[in-house]
A = this chain, B = another copy of it.
Amino acid sequence: MVGREIPFSLAINESIRSEMRRDPNVILMGEDVAGGAGREDFVDAWGGAFATYKGLITEFGPERVRDTPISETGFIGAAVGAAATELRPVVELMFVDFVGVCLDQLMNNAAKMRYMFGGKIEMPLTVLTYCGAAGGNAAQHSQSLYSLFVHLPGLKCVAPSDAYTAKGLIISAIRDNDPVIVFIHKGILGRKAEVPEEDYTLPIGKAMVGREGADVTLVGISSMTGVCLKAAEELAKGGINAEVIDLLSLSPMDEDTILQSVQKTQRLVVVDEDTPRCSMATDIAALVADKAFDYMDAPIKRVTAPHTPVPFSSVLEKAYVPDVAKVVATVKSLWS
């Protein structure tokens, strides 16, 4: 029996709804997370820029579902302050590209307060942010950027790859007592997967093996997991049996799953839409080059976006994002 299928966007909605029902301290804030603020005839006008929060304000009211001004430092900083006191805020940073105007609150306050205070505070903050190149949003609305956040000690970072992992990871993020940034790829919001109606959690810090294989390990992040799975099918036709790891959690990262896989396959290709320097791709490659060096049989490869901003024109945008062809070609090069 196939269970209920819902799109990624609805999984986001369900996860927040279930946590808001469960815990009155959970609130949601962001620009137009409801929309039409203050206008009685237009409650829930948008439900978020990606319509992922539809219906939340009608269920929970404007005290707990708060439209904000365009003041990311103000309201994300307020979310940090609220998390430092007794709330458990979920706050949207609409496009991850906007982190430039509010990084301080995440980097210097949310991430560090616990350590700076000698462990005497908790920071149950969840940040939902939308990332990735899709649909011609150009250089300031298409970045991945999770590598920046992973660099920062004190933050946790997760990147669900589909509706199922989204619901489980977002619920875990909200229940977590550390600041968790959830990276959501805009390009897969409409994609459906089987998702239980009830709430459930997926552990932060654990990867999933999306496909088993013995010849090469592909590590995918967010929408790249889908690319890896397709590439694996393609490779199977040529007799190459790829294992696909859906990383899911970027910080903490499930080193064991990666290392176990490469110990078996002895080959690694990391597939990452983020730009290549000081990135998740280099991070995973470096891990393996250190901890599984003796097992490796071929150079450790990375398929990433180029070291460029994201271009607008659709032909260029398409060339920018790692795709199945590039992954397949890179894997094949390991045997050449």
Contact = CB atoms under 8 A, between A and B. Distances in A.
Contacts of A275: 151-153
Nearest to A104: B100
A278 B287 CA distance: 11
Nearest to A282: B286
A241 interface: no
Interface in A279-318: 279-283, 285-291, 293-294, 296, 298-302, 306-309, 311-312
A39 to B, nearest CB: 30
Given A293-B296, A302-B286, A278 B151 contact: yes
Interface string A184-196: 0000000000000
Contacts of A115: 139, 308-309, 311
A101 interface: yes
Interface in A90-121: 97-108, 111-112, 115-116
Interface string A124-162: 000000000000001110000101101111100000000
Contact of A100 (B103, B289, B311): B103
Given A100-B104, A104-B100, A309-B116, A283 B290 contact: no
A287 to B, nearest CB: 8
Interface residues of A, number: 60
A277 interface: yes
A108 B116 contact: no
A307 to B, nearest CB: 5
B291 A299 contact: yes
Nearest to A102: B100
A312 B299 CA distance: 41
Given A153-B307, A278-B148, A289 B299 contact: yes
Nearest to A97: B108
A296 B293 CA distance: 9
A263 B192 CA distance: 48
A177 interface: no
A314 to B, nearest CB: 16
Contacts of A154: 308-309
A251 interface: yes
Given A100-B106, A108-B140, A290-B301, 12 more contacts: A97-B108, A101-B103, A108-B139, A111-B309, A116-B140, A116-B312, A145-B151, A150-B278, A152-B275, A278-B279, A278-B283, A286-B289
Instruction: Rank and list the top 4 A-B pairs by shortest CB-CB distance, nearest first.
Output: A100-B104, A289-B289, A285-B286, A282-B286
9 contacts: A73-B101, A115-B139, A147-B151, A147-B278, A152-B275, A153-B277, A154-B308, A286-B302, A290-B299
